[in-house]
Amino acid sequence: MYTKIKETIAIKLNKITNLDYPICYSSLEKPKSSFGDLACTIAFSIAKKDKTNPNLIAKKISNELKDKNIEKIDCIGPYINIYFSNNFFEEVLKNKEKNKKNKKTVIIEFPSVNPNKPWHIGHFRNAVLGNSVSNLMSYSGYDVIRMDYIDDLGLQVAQSLWGILNLNNKPDSNLKFDQWMGREYVKVALKTEDPNIKKEIEELLHKLEQGDEKISKKAREISEKCVKAQWETGFNFNIEHEILVFESDIMNTIFNEGIKHLKENKIIHLEKTGENNGCYVIKMSGKEFDKMKNPDKILIRSNGIATYTGKDIIFHMWKFGLLKSDFNFSKFMTQPSKKIAYMTNKKGSKKKIKADKIVNVIGNEQIYPQKVVKHSLNQMGYTKQSENYHHLTYEQVTLKNIKFSGRKGTWIGYSVDDFIEQGIEKALEKNCEDKKIAKTIATNSMIFYILKYAPETKIAFDWEEALSLEGDSAPYVMYSYVRCKSILKKKKPTFKIDIQNIKINDTEKKLLLLLSEFSEIIEKSADELKPHQICDYLLRTSSEFASFYSAVSVLKEENKDAQNFRLLILEKTAETLKTGMNLLGLTELEKM
């Protein structure tokens, strides 16, 4: 609603001043509360252009800005301060946030964890970032395809496969399959110091890359089982997917066409001398690569094996619908929401996918390879696709005095599954008597703690802070929602009030103004791929609600119009908090 009135006033300013609409819109800003509900600085732009007195311009413009949503306008020098009318605040209460439709498709790839271990807290950051951005973009009108990309041809899979084929250890029925595989991987990693075993693993890896039928089938089997176990972890946080793509299927289906495309467009070059002799290389040029000692990137090694980046370029050509070749898909699993996830599979059926926009959630260690993919698309003439290719990078998550290593097994006891159990125990210790509620509090707290930081910020996870009822936490937001709902259960509001007879006090106005900004916050967060802005908004809304709750009486208010008005504010606050929590992937509770 705040955006809507800004747009309305900007259109009026455009007609009054003949300045471009973007200039008019950008002249409107949120002031300090003592200077109105909306401030306009357009007098500066006109005075600079016409060499006139900005104070006189402001006065003249203010006399022409009339609207049912504006109660009064004051001018302090060149500043135009606008105060909203009761009509505006009534519209805020009546306005229902709705999903938009823009007929565009976005593929969001996350978390893409190697299929031989459970998720750790670093993978978790990837997963909740991907899920929340998916929710935001879906709410903003995109047709969102949540995609998980699985490297079933990598060294870690080869090592795990060697262990299964040679150690004769059977899966532990007391452990999830990914937990068991992770522990087996640690055992194999210790044995790779033996040169004979290392050589056997390398031979196994070569067979995987060459598509050996027997070996590939076994690798695919254990990879699928591991991913299903990983996804079970994600289901605890409302994380689901539409599509699962295996790297082996890229090699079997779209790779040859992709390489041919790169060669025909003269994007890759066969090096005939130097350290890259016999390799196909892409030349990297431009400001961001000029300072690098060796910016060129090998896409196909001299032995004919493609690098990860080589496969990735081709994969993204497919995502954008730039290849004729296509994958077959078959059912992977039915998820808790009853939504079916599909996986690439030679025996499946065709499923046409084409993205208008791509978001890859990948850690900051992959910044350079991601730039190579974006640069390659641009070099091939796919400028629009390159512009719509986004790398959502993020920093590490740590625990105090603990460093994780998949090979050394230091993650054991600290997987996301373990964190859930720890969180439940800690929530129960804080006088939560219901284990189901304790689990929701724990999982919500984990999500919120990770998302409240900007992706580029390093995080040291802290349970005490995550579960605090008084801090910047999920329980603080959840409790605000529960408070609203507990009052609304006692009495429901109606819109049978005369809004003109309501005298809105400062506490009510501050909360309503904040509620009016919600759609603007969602749009900004989706555009910038930064869900921490939603966290910040929910915390500010909860704080403003706490001030409202302390300052005014609701059920004991004798004036029926005033009481009903405040109940409507509670209803709007609850609706906003719920929507915001759901966008982050949180589950709301009716009681705590």
User: How far out from the chain centre does Cα 553 lie?
Assistant: 38
User: How far out from the chain centre does Cα 55 lie?
Assistant: 45
Q: Domain check: are 138 and 287 in the same one? A: yes
For residue 590, being part of any structural domain is answered with no
Selection from 547, 544, 532 nearest residue 580 by Cα: 532
d(CA 47, CA 61): 12
Q: Which sign, positive or negative, has the C-alpha torsion 284, 288, 289, 290? A: positive
Selection from 312, 328, 320 nearest residue 252 by Cα: 328
Q: Read off the DSSP letter of residue 104.
A: -
Q: Write the CATH number for 252.
A: 3.40.50.620
Query: Which residues are paired to 350 by β-bridges?
Result: 328
* Cα distances (angstroms) measured from residue 47 to each of 35, 52, 64, 333: 22, 5, 18, 64
Q: Domain check: are 327 and 431 in the same one? A: no
Q: Domain check: are 392 and 428 in the same one? A: no
For residue 73, being part of any structural domain is answered with yes
Q: Domain check: are 422 and 291 in the same one? A: no
pLDDT tens digits for 9-62?
A: 999 999 999 899 999 999 999 887 778 899 999 999 898 888 889 899 999 999
d(CA 108, CA 562): 46
d(CA 175, CA 182): 11
In this structure, the number of other CB atoms found within 10 A of the CB of residue 303 comes to 9
User: Treating both helix axes as pointing N-terminal to C-terminal, what angle do 213-235 and 177-191 enclose, rounded to 10 degrees?
Assistant: 130
* Cα distances (angstroms) measured from residue 120 to each of 159, 180, 227, 416, 418: 19, 14, 14, 5, 9
pTM of the predicted model, to two decimals?
A: 0.92
One-letter amino acid for residue 281 of the chain = V
Q: Domain check: are 424 and 558 in the same one? A: yes
One-letter amino acid for residue 344 of the chain = T
Q: Domain check: are 42 and 110 in the same one? A: no
In this structure, the number of other CB atoms found within 10 A of the CB of residue 223 comes to 25
What single string gives the DSSP state of each residue in 225-272? HHHHHHHHHHHTTT---SEEEEHHHHHHHTHHHHHHHHHHTT-EEE--
For residue 411, being part of any structural domain is answered with no
For residue 383, being part of any structural domain is answered with yes
pLDDT per residue rounded down to tens, the chain (592 residues): 888 899 999 999 999 998 999 999 999 998 877 788 999 999 998 988 888 898 999 999 998 988 899 999 999 999 999 999 999 999 999 888 776 778 899 999 999 999 999 999 999 999 999 999 999 999 999 999 999 999 999 899 999 999 999 998 899 999 999 999 999 999 998 898 899 999 999 999 989 988 899 999 999 999 999 999 999 999 999 999 999 999 999 999 999 999 998 888 888 888 888 888 999 998 887 777 767 777 788 888 888 788 889 999 999 999 999 999 999 999 999 999 999 999 999 888 988 899 999 999 999 999 999 999 999 999 899 999 999 999 999 999 988 666 666 666 667 888 999 999 999 999 999 878 899 999 999 999 999 999 999 999 999 999 999 999 988 999 999 999 999 999 999 999 987 778 888 899 999 999 999 999 999 999 999 999 999 999 999 999 999 999 999 999 999 988 888 999 999 999 999 999 999 999 999 999 998 8
Q: Domain check: are 228 and 362 in the same one? A: yes
Q: Domain check: are 60 and 122 in the same one? A: no
Q: Domain check: are 437 and 519 in the same one? A: yes
Q: Domain check: are 349 and 384 in the same one? A: yes
Angle ∠(206,211,212) on CA atoms, nearest 5? 80
Give all strands of the β-sheet with 389-392 in edge-to-edge order.
Answer: 349-350, 328-334, 340-344, 243-246, 143-150, 105-109, 357-361, 389-392
Q: Domain check: are 485 and 447 in the same one? A: yes
Q: Are 132 and 583 in contact (CB under 8 A)?
A: yes
For residue 176, being part of any structural domain is answered with yes
One-letter amino acid for residue 14 of the chain = N
Please report, in angstroms and rounded to a whole number, the separation of the first and last CA atoms in the chain: 31
For residue 99, being part of any structural domain is answered with no
Q: Domain check: are 437 and 566 in the same one? A: yes
For residue 403, being part of any structural domain is answered with no
Q: Write the CATH number for 26.
A: 3.30.1360.70
**Domain range for 495:** 416-584
Number of structural domains found in the chain: 3
pLDDT tens digits for 213-254?
A: 999 999 999 999 999 999 999 999 999 999 999 999 999 999
For residue 478, being part of any structural domain is answered with yes
One-letter amino acid for residue 193 of the chain = E
